[in-house]
């Protein structure tokens, strides 16, 4: 059922609300994260000090981070290179290829990895299809690019049906 594949394993307000100790207890060794509206606003070129501290806490905990983004190389590389974090651009999420490539590059298994993102139809669906633990975050910005605006309308419909079926344990903004 499609709604099941769209249901995140976990929902938090932001990346800063992800419990790193809980990840370690679950033997999580890697995070695949979206970039735009997950780590920073879609139109912010560089990381904020808060995101830099979050990445440092992940690194200190022994958890690798790879950015997997549907955005272009120039955008993703400009953000990731100064932070010295791995990235995959033009990922074509929710297809499997980039998720599997990230796991291979980090030398971890699906079970040792979480997928973090702000969109049901790219991040959550892509992660769930492969059996990852998925974490949905509230988008950092209320504005989006053209295709994301379309996806957000579809997400509101999906969240409405999830709530009606009692699948959602948090208050969505559908």
**CATH number of the domain that residue 158 is part of:** 3.40.50.1000
CA 28 to CA 109: how far, in whole Å? 9
153 domain residue, yes or no: yes
Q: What is the pTM of this model?
A: 0.86
Whole-number pLDDT of residue 133: 97
Average pLDDT, the chain: 90
Strands (E), 45-152: 64-68, 86-88, 113-117, 133-137
What is the tens place of the pLDDT at every residue in 95-150?
999 999 999 999 999 999 999 999 998 999 999 999 999 999 988 877 655 566 66
123 domain residue, yes or no: yes
Structure tokens at 151: 């996806």
Q: What is the domain count for the chain? A: 1
170 domain residue, yes or no: no
173 domain residue, yes or no: no
On the question of pLDDT at 174 being above 50, the answer is no
Nearest Cα to 39, choosing from 159, 130, 156, 140? 140
Name residues whose C-beta falls within 8 Å of residue 137's C-beta, 6 or more positions apart in sequence.
Answer: 11, 12, 13, 14, 15, 17, 38, 116, 117, 118
List the domain range (segments joined by +) for residue 61: 2-164
135 domain residue, yes or no: yes
171 domain residue, yes or no: no
Structure tokens at 79: 């953000």
169 domain residue, yes or no: no
140 domain residue, yes or no: yes
């Amino acid at each position: 059922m499609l709604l099941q594949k769209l249901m995140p394993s976990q929902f938090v307000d932001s990346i800063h609300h992800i419990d790193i100790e809980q990840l370690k207890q679950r033997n999580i060794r890697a995070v695949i994260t979206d970039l735009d509206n997950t780590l920073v606003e879609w139109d912010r070129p560089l990381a904020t000090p808060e995101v830099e501290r979050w990445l440092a806490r992940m690194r200190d905990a022994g958890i690798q981070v790879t950015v997997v983004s549907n955005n272009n190389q120039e955008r993703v590389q400009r953000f990731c290179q100064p932070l010295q974090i791995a990235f995959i651009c033009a990922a074509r999420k929710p297809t499997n290829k980039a998720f599997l490539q990230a796991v291979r590059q980090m030398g971890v298994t699906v079970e040792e990895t979480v997928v973090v993102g702000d969109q049901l139809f790219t991040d959550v669906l892509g992660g769930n299809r492969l059996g990852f633990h998925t974490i949905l975050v509230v988008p950092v910005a209320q504005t989006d690019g053209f295709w994301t605006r379309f996806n957000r309308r579809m997400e509101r419909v999906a969240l409405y049906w999830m709530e009606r079926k009692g699948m959602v344990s948090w208050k969505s903004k559908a």
